[in-house]
Structure 1
Amino acid sequence: MRILALAILAIGIVSIGPASAQTYDPAYPVCLRVYGPATYYECSYTSLPQCNASASGRSAQCVINPYFGAAQEPTGHRRHRRVY
């Protein structure tokens, strides 16, 4: 019974496949997505104009990095607790 459980576990792990790495670098706010036989991201830009200069003449597009480390979510309404 134990061997059967280990065999099922091994088959499950092998069938999942390799995990993909994060394509965005969280240190930079702007990424350049380069299209071609191998589409990839270059996240090494600090502004959209800087990225657009690198994308000029290439099959590429500038995108905002969703994993930027200093990014902050918009804050909602603050709720204050009433003290009586």
Structure 2
Amino acid sequence: MRAFAKPVLAIALTLAAASAQAQTYDPAYPICLQTFGRFGNAISCGYTSMQQCKMSASGRAAQCIVNPFFAGANPGRTRRQPRMQ
């Protein structure tokens, strides 16, 4: 019985892991659409503005969020120009 249980457990774990879907945040876009569904939630980052995302989310079980991994320009850092004398 033990010899039969190990392969069955291994197959069950493999099938469970295969159905899991990773949520990725595309660092090229600042806005993401998070959708909620019966079979799971999904996040897709492909929006350049909050307005564009809200139009896509309209009428759906979804919300727009700011991409925490956006790799755009950092407005807090500025470059100082050397003074000319």
Q: How does the TM-score come out when normalised to structure 1? A: 0.59
How many residue pairs are counted as aligned between the two chains?
57
RMSD: 2.2
Alpha-carbon offset, residue 23 of structure 1: 1.7
For 1:31 and 1:68, locate their aligned partners in 2 and report how far apart those are by CA, in whole Å.
10
Alpha-carbon offset, residue 38 of structure 1: 1.8
The percent of aligned pairs where both chains have the same amino acid is 53
Look up the SS of the partner of 1:54 in the other structure. helix
More strand by share: 2
For 2:54 and 2:48, locate their aligned partners in 1 and report how far apart those are by CA, in whole Å.
11
Superposed CA offset, 1:39-61 (max 9, x none): 01010000000000000000000
Q: Is the 8 A contact 2:29 2:45 kept in 1?
A: yes
Q: Which runs of 5+ in 1 are unaligned?
A: 1-17, 76-84
Matches for 1:25-64 after TM superposition, within 5 Å: 25-36=26-37, 37-64=39-66
Q: Which runs of 5+ in 2 are unaligned?
A: 1-16, 78-85
Superposed CA offset, 1:5-50 (max 9, x none): xxxxxxxxxxxxx8x8562110100000000122010100000000
The AA in structure 2 aligned to 1:33 is Q
For 2:73 and 2:35, locate their aligned partners in 1 and report how far apart those are by CA, in whole Å.
23
